[in-house]
Amino acid sequence: MLEQLRQALGSGAVVTDPDVLSAHARDEAGLCEAGRPTVLVRPADTAGVSAAVRIAAEHGVPIVPQGARTGLSGAANAVDGCMLLSTAALNRVIEIDPVNRFAVVQPGVVNADISRASAEHGLRYAPDPGSFESSTIGGNVATNAGGMCCVKYGVTSEYVLGLEVVLADGEVLRCGRRTAKGVAGYDLARLFTGSEGTLGIITEITVGLQPIPRDALTLAAVFPSTAAAGRAVTAITAAGVVPSLMELLDQVHLRAIEDYRPMGLDTKAAALLLAASDSGVPADLDEIASLCEEAGASEVYRATDAAEADALLAARRLAYPAVEQLGTVIVDDFAIPRTRLADALDGVAAASKRHGVTIGVIAHAGDGNLHPNIIVDPDNPSSVAAGRAAFDDIMRLAADLGGTCTGEHGIGLLKRDWLAAEAGEVGLRVQRAIKDALDPQGILNPGKVL
């Protein structure tokens, strides 16, 4: 197999060095197992991906697709004996169409680079995960990533117009459209979006672009309790105001950020709610501020210029790297109805107390998507066990509140059992039938999702 790969791709694209393989064996998910790969391949184009897949299929070798490996669910983790197939070299912005407002890009393009490439036309790519400066669009599509502006602008799947996908036998499929509208046949582009490399390997993506919004007005509201912050979010949503961003940071994260990079944050606050409005109507931010005060905010601070607004958003983007300094992080991700946000925050706090583990919460509060970050000591078995128990409690909490086990990070290895419980027997059978139809050998990212 290795010789065939070298002949097809060139020896420089076929890596067997044990140190390199070890370094590429996993993504950023804490405590997800990773196997030992046989080879890492780095095709330069769709034809190379197709050739690598055909060779792997011929030998019955499992394939684990990888991008920047910034994922948080173990979806890019190696399985024993696998071929790691990196799309990092497929990193060109192929086309920007400013009239029809789309971009054609390869999967290795970094998320933020799409907006940079389209900015001269007054356009941007809206979904902005916290890792937008490092995660690639291929991984964003594979996990149907979200981001901080999704409360107004939506998630990845709402921007994917068309895809080029290499199937499990090496055949190349083009699906979707370049038009603003189109409903011809099954929506295969949506099917592959969020499939985490289990149905095919994405090699080209057509994404919709939007006009760059006007500068947002931004505020930070300080709350004495997370429940009060939750009430504010519910009130803002019920009032019909549509913020362009509404993010929550709890005290664990405020303290971690301030220790990691001092910014003058109030570390005595129970929660900080960041909100922004790019509607161009100052009264919208006035209403958000008023609702925060009515919900119990002890202070509401408005950014006076773009620099202050950027500093507030920088604090939010530092949340994950800051909390990593506290120990190994088990990153949870669930979504609940907005009306249950306060209940969810209280439930996470109860799980933290019950199991004696530190759990910090950051949330895309405007769309009910919470990220409890569970801090454990990987060298202490009792700490790891307590963290896992807290994780399971939080997953049960999400189900009890009418929510879902993942809002944007995907299933990967981390949540296979919870997907099974959420989907139910019939739902799981339908999903497995789709997997079997597209990957009868079961070689595409085996063990992930299902």
Q: What is the DSSP letter of 110?
A: B
The per-residue pLDDT for range 181-229, each reduced to its tens digit, is: 999 999 999 999 999 999 999 999 999 999 999 888 999 999 999 889 9
If asked whether residues 17 and 101 sit together in one domain, one would say no
* CATH of residue 289: 3.30.70.2190
**Residue where one domain finishes, among candidates 268, 301, 319:** 319
**Residue where one domain finishes, among candidates 319, 335, 358:** 319
If asked whether residues 176 and 237 sit together in one domain, one would say no
Residue pair 270/225 in contact by the 8 Å Cβ criterion: yes
Q: 330: Cβ–Cβ under 8 A, 6 or more apart, which residues? A: 30, 31, 373, 374, 376, 387, 388, 391
How far apart CA 90 and CA 42 sit, in angstroms, is 9
Residues constituting the chain: 450
176 found inside a domain: yes
* CATH of residue 9: 3.30.43.10
At residue 317, the pLDDT reads 87
The neighbouring-strand residues paired with 300 are: 221
Nearest alpha carbon to residue 143 among 95, 72, 227: 72
* CATH of residue 104: 3.30.465.10
DSSP letter for each residue of 192-248: HTTSTTSS-EEEEEEEE-EEPPPPPEEEEEEESSHHHHHHHHHHHHHTT---SEEEE
Compute how many other C-beta atoms are within 10 angstroms of the C-beta atom of residue 146.
25
Residue pair 204/91 in contact by the 8 Å Cβ criterion: no
How far apart CA 273 and CA 113 sit, in angstroms, is 28
Residue pair 114/102 in contact by the 8 Å Cβ criterion: no
How far apart CA 28 and CA 65 sit, in angstroms, is 15
Report CA torsion sign: 157, 161, 166, 169. positive
**What value does the CA radius of gyration of the chain take, rounded to a whole number of Å?**
22
173 found inside a domain: yes
At residue 213, the pLDDT reads 92
Spell out the alpha helix ranges (H) of 246-296: 251-260, 282-295
If asked whether residues 254 and 172 sit together in one domain, one would say no
Report CA torsion sign: 236, 348, 331, 271. positive
65 found inside a domain: yes
312 found inside a domain: yes
229 found inside a domain: yes
Total domains in the fold of the chain? 3
Q: 299: Cβ–Cβ under 8 A, 6 or more apart, which residues? A: 221, 222, 266
If asked whether residues 222 and 262 sit together in one domain, one would say yes
If asked whether residues 207 and 219 sit together in one domain, one would say no
For the entire predicted model, the pTM comes to 0.94
Q: 344: Cβ–Cβ under 8 A, 6 or more apart, which residues? A: 230, 334, 336, 368, 370, 397, 398, 401, 403
Q: Which residues of the chain fall short of a pLDDT of 50?
A: none
How far apart CA 129 and CA 111 sit, in angstroms, is 8
**Residue where one domain finishes, among candidates 319, 342, 362:** 319
If asked whether residues 58 and 44 sit together in one domain, one would say yes
* Packing angle, helices 2-9 and 46-59, rounded to 10: 170
Residue pair 407/333 in contact by the 8 Å Cβ criterion: yes
Q: DSSP 3-state assignment of 376?
A: strand
Residue pair 7/13 in contact by the 8 Å Cβ criterion: no
If asked whether residues 207 and 220 sit together in one domain, one would say no
Q: 424: Cβ–Cβ under 8 A, 6 or more apart, which residues? A: none
Nearest alpha carbon to residue 202 among 68, 118, 108: 108
If asked whether residues 148 and 199 sit together in one domain, one would say yes
Structural domain boundaries enclosing 97: 93-211
At residue 225, the pLDDT reads 93
389 found inside a domain: no
142 found inside a domain: yes
Structure tokens, 255: 């303290």
Residue pair 411/75 in contact by the 8 Å Cβ criterion: yes
